[in-house]
Amino acid sequence: MKKRITSMLILVFSLVLVLVGCGNDKASNTQKQEKKDKEAEAVSGASKTSYTPYEELKESYDIIIVGAGGAGMTAALEAKAKGLNPVILEKMPVAGGNTTKASSGMNASETKFQKEQGIKDNNDSFYDETLKGGHGTNNKEMLRFFVDHSASAIDWLDSIGIRLNNLTITGGMSEKRTHRPEDGSAVGQYIVDGLLKNVQEKDIPLFVNADVKEITEKDGNVNGVRVLFNQTDEKAIAAKAVVITTGGFGANMEMIKEVRSDLGDYVTTNQAGSTGDGIKMIEKLGGTTVDLDQIQVHPTVQQDESYLIGEAVRGEGGIMVSAEGKRFTNELDTRDKVTAAINELPEKAAFLVFDAGVKSRVKATDQYKKMGFVLEGETVEALAEKMNVSADELTSTLETWNSAVKNKDDQAFGRTTGIDNDLSSAPFYAIKIAPGIHYTMGGVKINTNTEVLNKEGAPIPGLFAAGEVTGGLHGENRIGGNSVAEIIIFGRQAGVKSAEYVKAK
């Protein structure tokens, strides 16, 4: 009897094990399928932004462009349009560089979009205000070229499907000359997506994980680069010209501290690839630099994520208040002055306050909200509670501001721009901000042909540069919206002039 019971128990236990095993197999199969689905989805997503396979790398090209940000892709498109064969080498896993982080817009004067919207502007005004913003230290020849070619840069972008017809204003400017995408979204990613689409349509090879380590030369002429692919495979690639568009050094804290020890504790808004590689390689080749100690600190940076809160929020009517709930400066003064005003507060931080109207006009605020930066209240009092500031003070501040907007007279701080819209539409929002390292105005010295200059002021044959890797244009302070303009204007020039150089050889 006991044997029969024992046999039955063994049989039942065996059946249970089989059933559990089947269940585990089903669960395992389900998990495997889910993993396959996710992998397929990831591959599908990645294929939308595909880069040139390493196997297609050639030993030589007409022009090598180092850096796949806005300036680099623009240069490649112009070189290709001149009938040449350029290649783009990008050390990061994706294209875009610091351009992807730009949020406010692209400055330009006398544009067709300004004229369509009845905005009267002129190049001389743009020149004078940028020179004033840079404290008169800008390279005047570079600046003149910059403003005089700004409208054509807007036209060129429009001609390749990158339309910037939504206008706002940034600090230090008197007119609406900051051009944004039609829906008011962040300008950087929009431009990067548009340029990348054109690069792919024109069959311009773009290799990522391609870290250029050295610019090579022979008999005084630049003749290519040495590049490390995927951190393992080093190659020598030949070219008749090289264009450096590697960006600044805002993410290299060692370089920052060498020239500005006072900024050692600041957060940085720069993407990880902005480490000054191009500057170092050009210096090694005999190039010279200018204004390396001129580093722009942006006043409105979310500190936890080192994330830039774009100037367009203020340009469309946002204000800044202290921990007491009071305004303390002209929010659209130049960036250096606004930064100084925040640093004078006991907390060295402030709140950027805006309403539903500003939010609807600045689509970048959707991203800020998604990232968890935004405090929200259905009333001013509710927002004040979230901010932990006095409701009475914040209410009074907004009432005073709305009155200033109505009368077009900011008696408190003399703000004359970004004063078209009051803050009266619920809900109300706030983002806590403080200054952060944003832009390195110094870099290698070039001329208006984007030729890199040596210590004697003569061009290094076959070497060109554009974008944040260069210095001189902005002087001691950059106006918001001018960096995007710079990468397009001088990126185009680098593509054209490097192509002319190659054709003349």
Closest CA to 488 of 40, 35, 155: 155
Closest CA to 342 of 258, 435, 416: 435
- DSSP label at residue 100: G
Helix axes 123-133, 140-148, angle to 10 degrees: 140
Residue 74 carries which side chain, given as an amino acid letter?
T
Cβ atoms of 66 and 242 closer than 8 Å: yes
Burial of 20 (0-12, 13-18, 19+ CB in 10 A): exposed
Tell me which residues are annotated as active site: 335
Peptide bond into 427 cis (omega under 30): yes
Per-residue burial over 308-322, b if 16 or more Cβ lie within 10 Å, else e, is bbbbbbbbbbbbbbb
Burial of 207 (0-12, 13-18, 19+ CB in 10 A): buried
Burial of 323 (0-12, 13-18, 19+ CB in 10 A): middle
Q: Where are the alpha helices (DSSP H) in 183-328?
A: 187-201, 253-259, 277-284, 312-315
